[in-house]
Amino acid sequence: MLSFGSLLAYVAVTAAAALPCAGQTSPGDSGAPGQTQSTTTPPAKDVKADGQDLRVYWKDGFRMETADKAFSLRVSGRLQTDAAFFSGDEADFGTEFNDAVEFRRAYLGFGGRLYRDWEYLIEMDFAKASDDFSDAYLATGTPWGNLRLGHFKQPISLEEMASDLNTTFMERSLSSAFKLGRDVGVMLSDSAAEERMTWAVGVFKDTDADGKNQSGTSDDEYSFTGRLTGVAWQDDGGDLLHLGAAASLRNPSGNTMTFTSKPESNLAPTLLSSGVIGSPADKGDEFQLYGLEAAWVRGPLSLQGEYLVAKTEGDSAGKDDPTLSGYYAFVSYFLTGERRPYRKATGVFDRVRPKENFSLKEMSGTGAWELALRYTNFDFDDASATDANLSDVTLGVNFYPNPNTKVQLNAVQASLESGAVDEDATIFQMRFQFDF
């Protein structure tokens, strides 16, 4: 397993090898695919390398670039520290709620450009028991769209496609129980109609976080996933209406699937489980996942919602081919007048940038302040012998001192209905986050 020190050394070696030539300094962008760009760039500093110049500057992270932009490197990292406090009847829930803290994510990575046409990104998460890849891919343009190969997110769900740095709440909605994350695959994507529409299609192999086959799996565990989005309306000020749809055909590992859900807190215990759906002996067991998404931005006000449904092929708790569904809707409002930034080229929401940064040392600026309220529901009735259902109401307060720092406060009221259990739990949680 790659260690933290090994990755640091690898970054240094790559920086030396990937930037072999340069000329004069020039302005421009140098981020890897999917990396957030700043609206302003500090003056670059010229550095001599083998008698030639390199452009070294800060733009939401440390960057180096050759004058002809053929080669670039960005070193990036993020740290999210969470704390959670619980209140609930443990006896009725049948599980323990323990106050806890954790490093939710601790990323270190690098990305950039090679020979002008190729882009790369490698990130690892050191917050887990084992060092796991987050993203590890190579991308290039083609006549048919942008080609990406490696370990990355499957193109489905508006909230899933957004970086965890930019989510309105600490955790994504209960619909994340559909296992929407990353796998090894190949994807083709692009925008159209002057970036008013985006599309993405990909083929993925069911893998673990290291990009390896799941243990004991067969040869036919692939996913075919596609997403289509459009800006149905937009004015010159940035107000817009986003609409989208996605579908995924999946052959799960071992021909079985299990969906579990926590109450929108990673430090909480699992409250909901579908049990095992399907049979290892039945290679026909699969599930189809469909999603609809919408978002509306009007100045500092924002509305967003999604509906996802999984139609499975297999038996669970004596029920044939159960269907599971989840949805959420939220409203957010910036007290300081900012609006949620939207990236038309990819159909996702981007990094919030305060109108004025906050400085505690100088006691100046306000930063950005956001209030948000979300309702989410996950229905396991069709897959569970106890007709289980979990719903959450979350109140959130977000403080952005600057574009690279965020403090989040969430209060979650979770309601579980499962057989004889009909109980509520309250969760108060906080996150401190920074990235570069």
Q: What's the whole-number mean pLDDT along residues 89-98?
A: 72
In a domain, 392, yes or no: yes
- Looking at residue 417, its pLDDT comes to 87
Say if CB 129 and CB 209 are below 8 A apart: no
Mean pLDDT of 92-109: 88
pTM of the model: 0.84
pLDDT at 55 over 80: yes
For the chain, the average pLDDT equals 85
313-372 confidence digits (pLDDT tens): 876 666 678 889 999 999 999 999 999 999 999 999 999 999 999 999 999 999 999 999
57, 146, 271 from 93: Cα distances, Å? 53, 48, 8
Domain range for 407 is: 77-435
According to the model, what pLDDT value does residue 70 have?
A: 92
Rounded Cα distance between 230 and 248, Å, is 19
Number of domains in the chain: 1
Residue 5 lies in a domain: no
What pLDDT does residue 129 have?
73
Within a domain: residue 36? no
Quick one: pLDDT at residue 45?
58
List the Cα angle 231/232/238 in 5-degree steps. Answer: 55
Asked if the structure places residue 48 within a domain, the reply is no
Q: pLDDT category, 41, cuts 50, 70, 90?
A: very low
**Identity (one letter) of the amino acid at 364?**
S
* Average pLDDT for 31-45: 45
**Residue 430 tokens, joined:** 């906080």
Model confidence at 136: pLDDT above 50? yes
169 part of a folded domain: yes
* Domain-located, residue 31: no
On the question of pLDDT at 28 being above 50, the answer is no
Paired residues of 127 in beta bridges: none
Lowest mean pLDDT among 39-43, 194-198, 200-204: 39-43
pLDDT, position 277: 79
Whether 399 maps to a domain, the answer reads yes
CA distance 177 to 183: 16
pLDDT confidence tier of residue 252, bands split at 50, 70 and 90: confident
Confidence band, pLDDT 50/70/90 cuts, at residue 43:
low
Q: Does residue 21 register a pLDDT over 70?
A: no
Which CATH number characterizes residue 273's domain? 2.40.160.10
How many angstroms separate the CA atoms of 318 and 10, rounded?
52
CB proximity list for 78: less than 8 A, separation 6 or greater: 105, 106, 107, 165, 433, 434, 435, 436
70 domain-assigned: no
